[in-house]
Amino acid sequence: MNTAPVRVVIHGASGRMGQALLRLAADDPALQVVAAVVRRAPAQRVIDGVPHFAASELSGVPAFDAAIDFSLPDGFDPVLALCLARGAALVSGTTGLDAAQQAALAAAAQRIPLTWATNFSLGVAVLAELVERAAASLPGWDCDIVESHHVHKQDAPSGTALTLGEAARQGGAEARYASLRAGDIVGEHLVQFSGLGERLELVHRAGNRDIFARGALHVARQLPGRPPGHYRVRDLVGTPGR
Ligand SMILES: NC(=O)c1ccc[n+]([C@@H]2O[C@H](COP(=O)([O-])OP(=O)(O)OC[C@H]3O[C@@H](n4cnc5c(N)ncnc54)[C@H](OP(=O)(O)O)[C@@H]3O)[C@@H](O)[C@H]2O)c1
């Protein structure tokens, strides 16, 4: 059994997600952060034992098993190219990719194991499975997805609601959507199946952003060594850690 820690690169390390990833990975003996990549080189090149690199120095990062990318669309192409060049896994939560980037992702999945997802919460991954199963088991029932987020969130329905709607479609149901914007809600998704005289409600509540970082780290522990392919988060839940 391979007990060596998985060597990871955190790309977008100065962002909110990047900081959460660095903090949580530092406490995980199954992971070793070998590089943190930020857009501009910091004055201090080693922070808490982690070497920091500027985006322009990406090709110089040391050997790694998986890159975890939570940056912005203009940072995505270089990190994908790096993973292809090194034969390493890619875990990306960067949203807003265009059609060409999605096509590049699909092509890369022929050569490396990767996961790109709009939501890395393990609970949401299981919720999607349950939604698909409920939709398949309850033909003819109404399916409604109600998503609630803080007042600053502008897009609606949320990407996660659309992912859950796709799961319902896979099970044979066509979901309707409703969006609430209120207070400081981190994120809630209720999927309601309504029949005659009964209702089934499946709900996920996010308490903080760490859940996305924990899910991404879980995926980063799982992907290296797997055959090339695009793995969904739900393909990797329930699998034992290294
Ligand atoms: N899938 C999920 O579960 C999930 C959850 C939360 C967030 N997200 C997504 O993850 C991404 C980051 O979110 P966030 O809240 O952490 O955003 P953020 O705080 O704005 O951080 C973005 C980070 O990306 C870096 N960056 C931007 N362009 C780059 C480039 N060309 N090369 C390298 N690094 C670059 C930024 O560096 P500077 O500081 O130098 O600008 C910053 O460190 C967004 O796309 C967001 O939608 C996904």
Pair (134, 223) in one structural domain:
no
Name residues contacting ligand 1 (CB within 6 A).
Answer: 12, 14-18, 37-40, 55, 70-72, 74-75, 93-95, 117-120, 212
Q: Would you state the structure tokens that stand for residue 105, as one six-digit string? A: 């992702």
> Is the bond preceding residue 157 a cis peptide, omega within 30 degrees?
yes
Domain span holding position 72: 6-116+210-236
With tokens 């530092």, the residue in question is: 26
Atom of ligand 1 nearest to the CA of 120: 3
Pair (51, 167) in one structural domain:
no
Pair (230, 216) in one structural domain:
yes
191, 172 in Cβ contact below 8 A?
no
Tens digits of pLDDT across the chain (242 residues) = 557 999 999 999 999 999 999 999 999 999 999 999 999 988 889 999 999 999 999 999 999 999 999 999 999 999 999 999 999 999 999 988 999 999 999 999 999 999 999 899 999 999 999 999 999 999 999 999 999 999 998 889 998 999 999 999 999 999 999 999 999 999 999 999 999 999 999 999 999 989 999 999 999 999 999 999 999 999 999 865 54
Pair (178, 227) in one structural domain:
no
Q: pLDDT tens digit string along 102-116?
A: 999 999 999 999 999
pLDDT at 2: 58
Pair (199, 214) in one structural domain:
no
Pair (127, 23) in one structural domain:
no
Ligand-binding annotation for 117, yes or no, is yes
CB crowding 123-160: b at 16 or more within 10 Å, else e: ebbbbbebbbebbeebeebebbbbbbbeeeeeeebbeb
User: Catalytic annotation on 52?
Assistant: no
Pair (219, 105) in one structural domain:
yes
Pair (20, 84) in one structural domain:
yes
Pair (93, 127) in one structural domain:
no
* Atom 47, ligand 1: residue with shortest CA distance: 95
Ligand-binding annotation for 239, yes or no, is no
**Which residue, among 17, 77, 75, 58, has the nearest Cα to 215 in the 3D structure?**
17
Ligand 1 centroid – CA 175 distance (Å): 30
Of these residues, 149, 189, 204, 218, which one is catalytic? 149
97, 105 in Cβ contact below 8 A?
yes
Establish if 165 belongs to a structural domain. Answer: yes
CATH number at residue 66: 3.40.50.720
Pair (108, 11) in one structural domain:
yes
